[in-house]
Chain A
Amino acid sequence: MPPKTSLLTLRNIVVALLLIALALLPVYAQLAGDRFALTLFTRIVIMALAAVSLNLILGFGGMMSFGHAVYLGIGGYAVGMLAKEGVYSGFVQWPVAILASALFALVIGALSLRTRGVYFIMITLAFAQMAYYIFAGIARYGGDDGLTIYKRSQFIEALNLSDKVQFYYVCLVILFAAIYLVYRLINSRFGMVLQGVRSNEVRMRAIGFATYRYKLTAFVIAGVLCGLSGALLANQADFVSPSVMYWTRSGDLIIMVVLGGMGTVIGPVMGAIALLVLEEVLSGFTEYWQIILGPLLLLVVLFARGGIDGLLATLGERFTLRRPS
């Protein structure tokens, strides 16, 4: 008889507390007058969305994309370029950001997915760098220096994205929606096939799945979600520059996914929180905080492959094992 799976594991409790904490954060910020926490966590929520999107292809699809930050730039520039041309409506900007990301993902995905393994890593990396140079070269939209956005995306009268609290909740709702979407996706037939491809693509092809199409679809969905995250990021910073899609930013996204726990729905969110909070804390100690972060990463890779999520699961198991049943 299979053991009864309890919903009340340590991991689930932590996850629930985390989501509640995220939802209540503006209340704390308001009460404690901690405006910085709100700014920091808005950024964290936006980056978590990007990490969740990367996790769909990296964690569930086994596609090691090293150019995922490119969609942050594409989404951001869609907002920035339209704003520069006088189009402020979010009903135009955001769909354009989504469409542009989808199109880019479709083209580079179609090319990159012809290769596998380390070639795939390097090709996605190279395509992202190509986009980086394109945007750095367009003088009209700021080139290297980036583009200041003077007005945030306009939606309806009641919704004001310049209001910090409202903007935070917009980001959070989108993040929760994305998490739900990924959760539904990976538990659908599509997601099962995708995870099958991750474990053994040859076998999946042998039993008759057109794996290329599944992978490409996942690649495009991930691109779209990350493009949306880019549109949010540009709104938050009131600025977009090619540096958001520099390859080290793609590295940051991978770190978030792996640090949090690859191939789990909520892991990337924990990873984004962990990395960005760690960055904040360490840079408070020393200007040279990356000298600590670098070796720390190596240690995580060597000894804690499951990430935070895996750690919680292990801790939870020990915790339940000790109790007499």
Chain B
Amino acid sequence: MTLFIEQCLNGLQFGLLLFMLAAGLTLVFGIMDLVNLAHGSLYMLGAYFAATFSALTGSFVLGAILAMLATLLVGMVVEVVAMRRLYGRDHLDHVLGTFGLILFFNESVRLIWGPAGLALPLPGWLQQPISILGFQYSAYKFSIIVVSLIVAGGLYALVMRTRIGMLIRAGASNREMVGALGVNIKLLYTLVFGLGAALAGLAGLMQAPILTVQIGMGENILILAFVITVIGGIGSIRGALVAALLVGFIDTLGRSYLPDMLREVLSPAAASTLAPALSSMLIYLLMAIVLIVKPEGLFSAGQR
């Protein structure tokens, strides 16, 4: 039972982490109509920045904050230099252009930080397990859950309760009209892109102590973020949250329980061959099912 609760918490943690990545992706798509493959590169940069800054400052938290600011900055620069020219073009152009950016970022990271991965050590107070409701859980994973919930709440407040959020929502439903009403659309776009980048960077730096910081780390998880935006409905932040949690739970629980479940019905040999492949397929199966039932995703933003 404790194992089950622990796996559920792991699922929640992974889901929230994915949400931060997917939220930026879906924001950028919903508002700028831009498919950004380089989103995973910003996730990677967040992790690299955090490793560097926390080594420089000697503080994990300070390093994390600096890393987020740095990713925000990189995101805004990328928007001004490259992305801005891609708006309003074909999706194929987006895919190709941002694919070029991935190559650029990966090689830049190799050039600056070297081909070997980095480690981002945790401070002592995050390494101890803490006890929640009478059982032990990793303090770091728990703090990821807390931080993600705060960020998700903050994002909700920003989008639903502030003037900027109003403009963002207005931009998502009708870009031309917002521009015609005198809103500085260019600045808004740069801000939104920077916000998405910072969220991706935060996700990257939070995942970094659990996995190693390495080149290409953003590419695998980017696909998951895409799957989430598709399941949730492109452009919908609420959809992204629901889909991210769904994917987080299914992936985590699938990996831990599917082998045992298969062993009940199949021979041990067959089960151990089939289980890893099947558990990594689960979320794609989920996506296929969602698309068969609702081709526009669970919560489609409705405008396209």
Contacts and interface: CB of A to CB of B under 8 A. Distances in A.
Chain B interface category by residue count: 35 or more
B243 interface: no
Contacts of A122: 226-227, 229-230
A288 B110 contact: yes
Contact of B223 (A129, A291, A301): A129
Interface of A: 58, 64, 66, 111, 114-115, 117-119, 121-123, 125-127, 129-130, 133-134, 136-140, 247-248, 251, 254-255, 258, 262, 288-291, 293-298, 300-302, 305
A115 B96 contact: no
Given A122-B227, A129-B284, A137-B276, A302 B107 contact: no
B277 A133 contact: yes
Interface string B89-132: 00111011101111111111011000000000000000000000
A104 to B, nearest CB: 13
Contact of A126 (B223, B234, B296): B223
Contacts of A118: 29, 35, 91, 234
B234 A293 contact: no
Interface in B58-107: 82, 85-86, 91-93, 95-97, 99-107
B291 A123 contact: yes
A298 B95 contact: no
A255 B99 CA distance: 9
Contacts of B92: 58, 64, 254, 258, 262
B230 A126 contact: yes
Most A Cβ at <10 Å: residue of B97, B99, B277, B292: B99
A296 B100 contact: yes
Contacts of A121: 35, 91, 95
Contact of A139 (B111, B234, B273): B273
B136 interface: no
Contact of A130 (B29, B108, B281): B281
26 contacts: A111-B288, A111-B291, A114-B291, A117-B91, A118-B234, A123-B288, A125-B223, A125-B226, A126-B226, A126-B230, A126-B287, A127-B288, A129-B284, A137-B273, A248-B102, A251-B99, A258-B92, A258-B96, A262-B92, A290-B103, A290-B106, A291-B107, A293-B100, A296-B100, A301-B100, A305-B93
Interface in B204-234: 219, 223, 226-227, 229-230, 234
